[in-house]
Amino acid sequence: MQRHQSGALVEAEALYRQVLASEPRNADALHLLGVACSQQGRHDEAVELILKASKIAPASAAMHLNLGNALLGAGRHSEAVARYRKALALEPRNAIAHRNLGSALNALNRPAEAEACYRKSVAVQPGYAKAHYGLGVTLMELDRNEEAIPCLVRALTVRPNFAHAHNNLGGALRCLNRYREALASVEKALTLEPDHADAHWNRSVVRLALGDYRGGWEDYEWRRRAALRSKPSEFAQPLWLGQSALSGKTILLHAEQGLGDTLQFVRYAPFVAQLGARVMLQVQAPLKRLLAGMEGVSAVYSIGEALPGFDCHCPMMSLPHALGTELADIPAATPYLRADPAGAGRWRARLTKGAPNVGLVWAGAAREHDVRANRVDRRRSLSLAQLEPLSGAGVRLVSLQKGPPGKEARPPPPGMEVLDPTSELDDFADTAALVEALDLVISVDTSVAHLAGALGKPVWILSRFDGCWRWLLDRDDSPWYPTARLFRQPAPGDWDTVIARVAQELSAWGESMGGEPKKSPPGGR
């Protein structure tokens, strides 16, 4: 036991096995051997050992607790919940069991239940830093960042060198647009743990939003090691980050995150080609046809298609780092993508003349498989009904909305007239042809906004309060897209103010374009 407590896990394991060789049903030895295995990352083996021990001594809360820990480590979250509940039935005031139950519930995407567990834990043991930290992180998951901050501060009061708490405090502050404070918190985490990958990634987002592109891109490379679902693909060929000459070589530039990310960063492909490389792209299937004719690109493959040989590779979102992009020299010339002229011409012929034609996108992809991305999507997305004030702006509204939210235009909400041609849009080449024929696109922060910007079309982007780093801070233009204009929420969730402003600006813009005079929107607005 002393060896175990001192951290000598291998020696402790050998001693427990000696005991079990002569006493196979020694519950304590089985239990402690299981704990030692779990601490060494062998969680499945630990589960078997502690389960045997708990059957011999079913009234031991500690055994159920540690069995829950091993199950949690093995990714068997529902089973872990059941074991923690057994431990708490035996010891209702076990602060560790309450806290770990919260962790298991969070892993099952049940943050409201997890919150209750963390609150019980800190009620039992007010000085339990990990429980205050868990509560703070859970409140962040529930988009209650204002409430999360004092919990994380309390964890740091108890344990000042808690790097994870400093990092997450920075994350909560960032979500509240308190970027300078966020930067200080994240840098404190990195002072304590210089190789803290999540803190480097968090700092990258803060730096990029603040316009510190040199430091931001460098930190952004830590995403490969951070706890993120979406990471760059790995290939056997060397990763190119600008460290070697490309003349005569074939490089694969590959997509790694969303469709909008690919559309934004594929602009770098011609610049890589100018270095003497033959450039191949690997992109999401809906983008393949649109990008096939891009300047400087030799071949385009969909993700999952067989690839020919190549010499090196680079994720598209690493290209700004590889090419040394600063805020002042973003390659912003547009259009760098082009729609099929014949397709755009057909749409122009079909669209009614008179009032300007304005495309609408009101929701992003829900991404149900990714809990955090899904929460971001809920913050960035609207319903079509919320855009009803735009119907009084003297323009013709055209849906560009694909996916389940697109059904809201079939038929549109009462008081709205929306043309819906989306059944004819099979991929982004089709969408690009329609966008090219429109006069303006109004979109939430999703891929069509990037498409319109890349085509050089006027685009008004509706941005949530905690907007993406790429839109920087406190500005309504974008150095990435000269034709873009941002309309930002003044407070979290406040779309009404945004939409009222857009309706007013749209009415004036429509009149300047020779559209119909402004009508009084339904509802007396």
Residue type present at position 140: M
What's residue 499's pLDDT?
Answer: 96
What's residue 230's pLDDT?
Answer: 73
The CATH homologous superfamily for domain 16-224 is Tetratricopeptide repeat domain (1.25.40.10)
What's residue 505's pLDDT?
Answer: 95
Q: For the chain, give every domain's residue range.
A: 16-224, 250-329, 341-512
What's residue 511's pLDDT?
Answer: 86
Strands 459-463 and 357-361: unpaired
Would the CA dihedral through 166, 164, 232, 428 be positive or negative? negative
Across the beta sheet with 440-444, what order do the strands follow? Answer: 418-419, 396-399, 357-361, 440-444, 459-463, 484-488
Token pair recorded at residue 522: 């339904």
Identical fold for domains 16-224 and 341-512, yes or no, is no
Mean pLDDT by 10 residues, the chain (525 residues): 69 78 86 86 90 92 94 96 97 97 95 97 98 97 95 98 98 96 98 96 97 97 84 91 95 95 98 97 98 95 96 97 96 96 95 90 78 76 95 92 94 93 96 97 97 98 95 96 97 95 94 60 29
Q: Which residue has the tokens 């951070």?
A: 226
What's residue 21's pLDDT?
Answer: 84
Per DSSP, which regions of 240-395 are E strands?
250-254, 278-283, 297-302, 312-315, 357-361
- CATH 3.10.28.10 fits domain 341-512: no
Residue type present at position 379: R
What's residue 229's pLDDT?
Answer: 66
Token pair recorded at residue 518: 């402004």
**Residue 247 gets which letter from DSSP?**
T
Q: Which residue has the tokens 């480590």?
A: 73
